Amino acid sequence: MEITKYAHACFVAIKDGQSVVVDPGELSSNFTVPKNPVAVVVTHIHGDHWSADHLTQMPNVPVFAPDDAANRLRELNLNVIVVAPGETKQVGNFKLTFTGGQHALIHPDTPMCRNVGVLINDGEVYYPGDSFASAGMPIETLAVPIAAPWMKTAEAMDYLTQVRPKRAFPTHDAVLSEAGKQFADNWMKQAAEKSGTIYERI
C-alpha cells in the first residue's frame, strides 16, 4: 500500500488504483484530491481534521465519521456515514475498521467529542486520530501524532513502543515549527529504535 502524506493530520492510502483520504483538514493546505477516491475518513469534529473546501471537492465519495462530526458534515450535502468503534466497512479495495471512541482530554474545561481511529486492511495502516487508542492487532505502518494540546512527546514515544509497528510516520504536527518537528523527530527516533520501528517522514 502506498501512502501520500499532506500537511498536519492528512494522508491518503492508495491500493490498486483506489484511494482513501484521511482527515483532510483546514491545516492541510497542500492537499490535492487523489485519483479515484473511494472513501474519506474524518476522525472527529475539530477543524484541523476536516475542511469544507477539501470535502466538497469530493461530493459523491462516502465520508465516514463519528456521529457528532457527521451532524456537521451533513450540512455540506455530503454522503456521510456514521461509524462507531468496532464497526468495519468494506469500500473498494479497503477494509476500514474503526477503533477508539473518544478524543483525548485537552483540558477539563474543554468539551469532549467523539473520535475514531481507523485500521486499514487489518493493520496495513493504523491511525488513532486524536487519541492513543489501541489498535488491538499487529500494525505494519502507524501514523503517530507527535504534537497537540492534548499530548506530550513522552506519551507519543510510549505509544510507539506500545504499538511496535514495523514502520511509523509522524502526523498532527502543523503546530510545530520546522525546528520543532526536528526536535520531536529526534525523540521519536529514540523510541523507534527501542521498539524496532523504522520511523521516517514521508
pLDDT band at residue 186 using 50, 70 and 90 as cut-offs: very high
Q: How far apart are CA 63 and CA 59, in angstroms?
A: 9
Question: What is the CATH number assigned to the segment(s) 2-196?
Answer: 3.60.15.10
Residue 102 grid coordinates: 473518544
Judge contact between 186 and 200, C-beta under 8 A.
no
21-53: pLDDT as tens digits: 999 999 999 999 999 999 999 999 999 999 999
Tell me what pLDDT residue 99 has. Answer: 98
Q: What's the pTM value of the predicted model, to 2 decimals? A: 0.96
Distance of CA 173 to the CA centre of its chain: 12
119-143: pLDDT as tens digits: 999 999 999 999 999 999 999 999 9
Tell me what pLDDT residue 164 has. Answer: 98
pLDDT band at residue 182 using 50, 70 and 90 as cut-offs: very high
How do the domains of the chain map onto residue ranges? 2-196
Mean pLDDT value across residues 14-22: 98
Residue 142 grid coordinates: 502507524
Beta strand pairing call for 88-91 and 94-102: antiparallel
52-108: pLDDT as tens digits: 999 999 999 999 999 999 999 999 999 999 999 999 999 999 999 999 999 999 999
Judge contact between 48 and 26, C-beta under 8 A.
yes
Tell me what pLDDT residue 128 has. Answer: 99
pLDDT band at residue 18 using 50, 70 and 90 as cut-offs: very high
